[in-house]
A and B are shown apart, each in its own frame.
Chain A
C-alpha cells in the first residue's frame, strides 16, 4: 500500500509541475505579439536615416542661403543709397575732367607736341625727341591685366639752367597730364645746360561697360581733393 501511495503522489507532483511550467510558458510573449512594435522601430529608423536627416540638412542649407540673400539685400540697399546721393550732372562733369587729365587714349604725337611746345615756351631747344607706348607692371603684381598704360620717351633739350629748371617745374606742377620724370641729367657745357630726361604720360583705356553690383563700391566723392586737381588741370587744357 505505501508503494501505491508513493506512486500516486509522484504522478500527482509531476502533473502539478507540468501545470506550473505551462503557466509560466503562457506568461511569455510570442514573436507574433512583438512583431508590430519591431516593425515600427525599423520603419522609424529607416525614415530617419533616409528621409528626415536629408530633409533637415536641406532645411538648414535653406536657412544659410536665406541669410546670404538678406545680406545681399542689405548690400544693394546701401549701394542704392550711395548712388542716389550722387548728382548726375556733377558726376558727368567730374568724369569729363578726369578723362581730359588722364584720357582714354594718349596719342604719342599729342603728348610729345605738348612737351615740345612747353620746352619752346621756356626757351629750350630740342636736341632729341622720341616716344612710344609702354605697359608698366604695377608693383608686386605680375598677373595679366594689372598694368598701367602710358606713353614714354627720352627727351633732350639745351638752354640756360633757369630755363631748364622752369621747364622741369612746369612739367611737374603745371602739366595738365599726369607725368612722371625719370633719369634726369643736367649737365653744363660752358654756360649752356643740356637737360636729358625720360617722361611718361599715362592714360586709362575704356573699361568694361558693365559693373558688378555686388563688388565693393567706393564712390569717387571720397577723393574730393584730387577731383579738384583734375578740375584745375582740365581747365588748363581748355
Chain B
C-alpha cells in the first residue's frame, strides 16, 4: 500500500522526464586523440581533422604507381629505339641501293663507250696472238747451219777427222758419223768434243778400222741455249 504512492511518484517523475525541454547546444565531433595513428588501411580516408572525401594515394598505391611509371617509360624508350633503329636500317638500305644503281648506270655508259673501241682491241689481240706464237715456236729454234759449222770446226781442230753424216734432233741431240786417218785423231776429236763448253754430253758409240781409215760414230747433246737466237733477221 505504501508502494503505490512511490510508484506513482516514480511514474510521475518518469513522465516528467520523458518530455525534456529542448536546449540548443553546439554539436561537437567526438574528440580525437591527437597522437593516435589511423588504423591500417584507413590512412587516406581518415585525415587529421576529418574524413577525406578525395583520398590521396596510399603508400602502396604510390609504390605501384611509381613502378608502372618506370615500366611505361621503359616501354616508350624501347619503342623509340625500335623506331630509330628501323629508320637507320631502312635508310642505310635505301642509300646503299641508290648508290649502287647510280654506279650501275655509270658503268653502263662506260661500257657503251668502250664497246665502240672493241675493233681496236680485236686487232691488237690478233697481233699479240701471233707474237706469242712466234715467241713460243722460235724460243727453242736453233740455226742448223751454225751447229754443223761448229762441229766441223772442232773436227778440223782435231786433225784429220771429217764428219760425213749429221743428225740433229729435238733439244740438239745429235749423232755424227765420220772418219779419221788414225785412232790418235779420233781420240783427239773425242777429247775436244768432251771438253767443249757448248757440249752437254758426248759418247763414242762405235769406232772401227776399215783398213785405210777409222770410222767413228759419236752421240751426244749440245747445250741448246748456246745456239738459240731470240730474233731472226
Q: How far is the CB of A59 from chain B (nearest CB, A)?
A: 5
Which chain B residues numbered 76 to 115 have a C-beta less than 8 Å away from chain A? 78-79, 81-82, 85-86, 89-90, 92-93, 96-97, 99-100, 103-104, 106-107, 110-111, 113-115
Q: Considering the chains assembled together, what is the distance between the CA atoms of A187 and B148 in angstroms?
A: 12
Binds B, one of A105-113, A151-159, A225-233: A225-233
Main secondary structure of the interface of B (DSSP, over half): helix
Binds A, one of B4-12, B163-171, B203-211: B163-171
Total number of B residues with any Cβ neighbor in A under 8 Å: 75
Which chain B residues numbered 151 to 173 have a C-beta less than 8 Å away from chain A? 164-170
> Hey, which chain A residues are within 8 Å of B125, CB to CB?
207, 211, 217
* Set B68, B107, B167, B232: member contacting A185, Cβ < 8 A: B167
Which chain A residues numbered 89 to 110 have a C-beta less than 8 Å away from chain B? 91-92, 94-95, 98-99, 101-102
Q: Considering the chains assembled together, what is the distance between the CA atoms of A238 and B145 in angstroms?
A: 26
> Hey, which chain A residues are within 8 Å of B135, CB to CB?
226
> Hey, which chain A residues are within 8 Å of B168, CB to CB?
183-185
Question: Number of A-B pairs whose CB atoms are under 8 Å?
Answer: 227
> Hey, which chain B residues are within 8 Å of A168, CB to CB?
143-145, 148
Q: Is B134 close to A, CB under 8 A?
A: yes
Interface residues of A (CB under 8 A from B): 16, 19-20, 22-24, 26-29, 33-34, 36-37, 40-41, 43-44, 47, 52, 55-56, 58-59, 62-63, 65-66, 69-70, 72-73, 76-77, 79-80, 83-84, 86, 88, 91-92, 94-95, 98-99, 101-102, 138, 148, 165-166, 168-169, 172-175, 178, 180-188, 197, 202, 204, 207, 209-211, 213, 217-220, 223, 225-227, 229-230, 232-233
Main secondary structure of the interface of A (DSSP, over half): helix
Contact status B128-A63, CB under 8 Å: no
